Homo-oligomer: A and B are copies of this chain.
């Protein structure tokens, strides 16, 4: 039985408890520590009261081998972290010469005047180790208390993350024998969480030691596998899940978005895309252009918000608009075909719908959306019946349009001949 190294995360700041600020640090640290191979036992948030911070630190230290505390290292009266360490564990605060030199150097580098109160940032517990902050004025520090190592880092996420990367992670790795877990994520379109649970729920019985998890980023679902290091059935388990998901899984590459997958496919086929968007209003184009190198596969797009724009820009016949209305299969098809023709490219997508909250009718309620994809094998259209929320309706429409496009490119042969083996 391996020895598990445990951790506890403490966030400090009154603005977290009043809800003014979202604590993104805790999630980042929980994820980072888990990936390093530590087991996070708990997390807590304390406001700007000495006693509460000291209690939180004492509780954390008594429950874990490693504690990371963020926030409260600034120069103002609210910044109580160093004081609370002394309150919780004894000792005294002294002007730390190493920290002071770093603070002075930092102010010199950013050419800002250093006020006397900034010296407070170098007032640290006697005997602590200073952790340099290359991006900000507040140095961090570490102390050891009865076998627990506590790290204190600033609350500014950019500064904190840099210090974890440059100092804290190595410090922890050098101190403990860590066994990072195996983790793998499949990103899926077209299956709901309960459906996935039903289809994949037996993975833990089939492949002992593999745990299944889900994360929904509507309309995407992420299927997550986790196992202890050296789990024998890991590769078999992944292969089984992969086979169950089939084409509904659009990527297994960390951080790869749906648009990036499309980009890889189109680039390998040497084909380009054009977009004609109405209710999505540029959201699809925005997702496409978010991917670096999108100019290799995206030619141009239109936000044809008015009927005139649909007619003038992507040649939707006025008769179609009059007869069927802007939100109709006929108009979506004409948009997809018109934008591809106008841009001179192989693939075109047209989206037209009623995002809400206004504009609905009994025949075409809010949430009615038509999406059409034009490709080498013709034009395919689909009607969505979504909900009442404008943002969700637009989001679903954009994602499903990209997914319809991916399906059509797959049907057309997916990747080009030369690139079948792209992972």
A29 to B23, CA, bound (A): 13
Given A19-B28, A305-B298; A292-B45 close (CB under 8 Å):
no
What does DSSP make chain A's interface, helix, strand, loop or mixed?
mixed
A305 touches B300 (CB 8 A): yes
Residue numbers in B under 8 Å from A46 (CB-CB): 42
Give bound CA distance, A306 to B300, whole Å: 7
Interface residue A420 (Cβ < 8 Å from any Cβ of B): no
Q: State the oligomeric state as a number of copies.
A: 2
0/1 string, A285-301, CB within 8 A of B gives 1: 11011101111001111
- In chain A between 26 and 46, which residues have their CB closer than 8 angstroms to a CB of chain B? 26-35, 40-46
Interface membership of A309, Cβ < 8 A: yes
Residues of the B chain whose Cβ atoms lie less than 8 Å from the Cβ of A358: 292-293
Q: Provide the residues of chain B in CB contact with A59, threshold 8 Å.
A: 59
**Interface residues in A1-37 (C-beta closer than 8 Å to B):** 15-24, 26-35
Q: Does A237 contact B (CB under 8 A)?
A: no
Do A45 and B16 have beta carbons less than 8 Å apart? no
> What is the bound-complex CA distance between A49 and B326, given in angstroms?
55
Q: How far is the CA of A72 from the CA of B56 in the complex (A)?
A: 23
Stretch at the interface among A138-146, A276-284, A406-414: A276-284
Q: How far is the CB of A19 from chain B (nearest CB, A)?
A: 3
Query: A303 contacts B301, CB within 8 Å?
Result: yes
- Whether, in the assembled complex, A47 has its beta carbon less than 8 Å from a beta carbon of chain B, the answer is yes
Cβ-defined contact, A292 with B19, below 8 A = no
* Chain A interface size range: 35 or more
B42 touches A17 (CB 8 A): yes
User: In the assembly, what is the distance between CA of A192 and CA of B43, in Å?
Assistant: 32
Give chain B nearest CB distance to A30 CB in angstroms: 4
Residues B17 and A41 in contact, CB atoms below 8 Å apart = yes
Q: Which residues of chain B have C-beta atoms less than 8 A from A42's C-beta?
A: 17, 44-47, 52, 56
Q: With A19-B31, A309-B299 as given contacts, are A285 and B294 in contact (CB-CB < 8 Å)?
A: no
Known: A292-B356, A303-B275, A306-B295. A16 touches B30 (CB 8 A): yes
Q: Beyond the given A16-B43, A293-B358, could you list 8 further A-B residue pairs with CB under 8 A, ordered by the A residue number?
A: A17-B34, A18-B31, A23-B27, A44-B45, A59-B59, A294-B305, A301-B303, A303-B303
